Structure 1
């Protein structure tokens, strides 16, 4: 498959967008999400026990939910992207280990998920216009969080 320079650029920009998202979440820099999502973005975290809604609602949820976990990382891989002009769809694998406080101390749970994305090219560059999580697996989840 031969790609044009524009297609190569688009793919690299979309890859960087996915990395920027993971970095913003892991660094609890939720204001950075304004440069990652479109203003009218819809985000659905319900597959992994979160909420769904617009960007302001999601940022508020993250500010409340993420400090519960002493440490976590989002490792993204296997990004499949289909570009159609100024829009694109994507599927991104994520491995998300999270340290969870327990009555006995702490333990690490592992969450495997897919991000199912829609992207839109804006005047400021590519942005995520829709992101939904799809659960793949969970391991070592404390009983108190069994719904994850």
Structure 2
């Protein structure tokens, strides 16, 4: 049986993942400050993105996502292992996106992947200390220019 602490931790972590999705989908980059630790390491490279520190990725995201007028990040089905003030998780992400080409044409495509995270409990609540985006599958992905480099 789960303890009240573990129930609370699990709910807080699920809320953290939801807040990440809303921050990205609403392009609220400053909201990410309450999701990641300041020294977090983020690796989106397996799915065609960038790899770097949280400050680098936070600055990179608005530029990298500019060519996508719409997207939705739906997280679900988390496997979560909590050990005191640290946790490891693997979470499914379903991500429909619209790509806008240079000529203005829009193309909808889909990505299925997993987030593999290391989480830590801080004085402000649970935060993501490491995030790795693991590719699952794609459908209807358009030809696109490479993503910009991390500054």
Is TM (by shorter chain) over 0.5?
yes
CA–CA distance in structure 1, aligned partners of residues 13 and 104 of structure 2: 41
CA contact (8 A) 2:95 2:112 kept: yes
Which segments of structure 1 move beyond 4 Å, counting only runs of 4 or more?
A: none
CA–CA distance in structure 2, aligned partners of residues 145 and 63 of structure 1: 16
CA–CA distance in structure 1, aligned partners of residues 55 and 32 of structure 2: 10
What is the aligned partner in structure 2 of residue 85 from structure 1? 84
Aligned counterparts, 1:1-148, within 5 A: 2-102=1-101, 103=103, 105-144=105-144
Count of matched residue positions in the alignment of Structure 1 and Structure 2? 146
The CA deviation at 1:146 is: 9.0
Residues 57-77 of structure 1: per-residue CA shift (max 9 Å, x gap) = 001110101121110000111
TM-score, scaled to structure 2? 0.92
Gaps of at least 5 residues in structure 1 are none
Measured on the aligned residues, the alpha-carbon RMSD in Å equals 1.5
CA–CA distance in structure 2, aligned partners of residues 104 and 36 of structure 1: 33
The CA deviation at 1:80 is: 1.0
TM-score, scaled to structure 1? 0.94
Q: Secondary structure at the match of 1:33?
A: helix
The CA deviation at 1:143 is: 2.4
Once the two structures are overlaid, the 10-residue window that deviates more, 98-107 or 27-36, is: 98-107
CA–CA distance in structure 2, aligned partners of residues 123 and 91 of structure 1: 24
Residues 86-126 of structure 1: per-residue CA shift (max 9 Å, x gap) = 00000010011100123572110101110000000011111
